[in-house]
Amino acid sequence: MWFAVITLFPEMFEAITSYGISGRAAKRDLVQLTCINPRDFAEGNYRRVDERPFGGGPGMVMMAEPLAKAIKHAKQLAMQAGKNQVPVVYMSPQGKTLNEQAVKEFVEYDGLIILCGRYEGVDERLIQKYVDQEWSIGDYVLSGGELPAMVLLDSVIRRLPDAMSDMQSAEQDSFVDGLLDCPQYTKPDCFEGLDVPEVLKSGHHLNIEKWRFLQRYQRTLDRRPELVEKFELTKQKKKWLKKQDSSES
């Protein structure tokens, strides 16, 4: 998948291109990521990209002109790379909140152009003319759109076909089927007086599957009850839950 990121701080994206699953995907050319610095498209000796807001008030606003030129350049690069479906995505606290379903839908595009704002955001007219989608990573404010862009990139890249080994597998993650993940254990058998649950060492695959499902279901009920309401139970899972209920009382 092809990505262009419009950012005043291109070096930050080495976090994506150099490390972990996303770094490996970039090295294997499953991911092509280009950063475009709007400062390279700014005019004058000082190459300013920010200005004081009309109407006054604190902080600065990113100017439309250098961002428009940067986005046009990104679209040219996308075309040269043979990428047709490449929406412009703006990371902002005013956007729709990202979730696993939205991430799944991003994976279907040929590429993304991701716009990172700094200061108090960008001139609204740039958004009107050039932005296709506005997304947020949650209800809090950061100093720039770069970290949110990296969150989006990581979540999309790990879902690309072949980005993860069969052992890792995005299919198994929390949220993918709507429930939270189960507890995980590894060596040693006993850590500071806490034992690994016996069933996980039994080698009985059906019992392990049952235990893991009941753990996930209980955790989700405790921590995120609103997620359980949307979860569709299979016959097997209904049976497991019923048995548990009757053995408790």
Which residues of the chain form contacts with ligand 4FD (CB under 6 A)?
91-93, 117, 120-121, 136-138, 140-142, 144-145, 148
Please tell me which residue in 120, 134, 154, 181 is annotated as part of the active site. Answer: 120
Helix ranges (H only) for the chain are 14-17, 20-27, 64-80, 100-106, 124-130, 146-157, 205-223, 225-228, 235-248
Q: Between 61 and 182, name the residue whose CB sits nearer to ligand 4FD.
A: 61
Q: Between 120 and 173, name the residue whose CB sits nearer to ligand 4FD.
A: 120
Decide: 53 and 186 in contact? Cβ < 8 Å. Answer: no
Which residue's Cβ has the minimum distance to ligand 4FD? 121
Q: Between 86 and 98, name the residue whose CB sits nearer to ligand 4FD.
A: 98
Give the shortest CB-51-to-ligand 4FD separation in angstroms.
15
Give the shortest CB-109-to-ligand 4FD separation in angstroms.
19
Give the shortest CB-245-to-ligand 4FD separation in angstroms.
40
Quick check: is 47 catalytic? no
Residue 101: Cβ-neighbour burial (10 angstroms; 0-12, 13-18, 19+): exposed
Q: Between 77 and 113, name the residue whose CB sits nearer to ligand 4FD.
A: 113
The DSSP string of 150-205 is: HHHHHHHHTTSTTSS-TTT-GGGSTTTTSSPPPP---S-SEETTEEPPGGGGS--H
Quick check: is 173 catalytic? yes
Note the residue count of the chain. Answer: 249
Decide: 160 and 30 in contact? Cβ < 8 Å. Answer: yes
Which of 104, 126, 108 is CA-nearest to residue 6? 126
Please tell me which residue in 65, 154, 173, 181 is annotated as part of the active site. Answer: 173
Give the shortest CB-84-to-ligand 4FD separation in angstroms.
27
Please tell me which residue in 93, 100, 181, 219 is annotated as part of the active site. Answer: 93
Report the DSSP pairing between strands 32-36 and 2-6: parallel
Please tell me which residue in 118, 158, 159, 216 is annotated as part of the active site. Answer: 158
Give the shortest CB-137-to-ligand 4FD separation in angstroms.
4
Quick check: is 209 catalytic? no
- The catalytic site residues sit at 93, 120, 158, 173
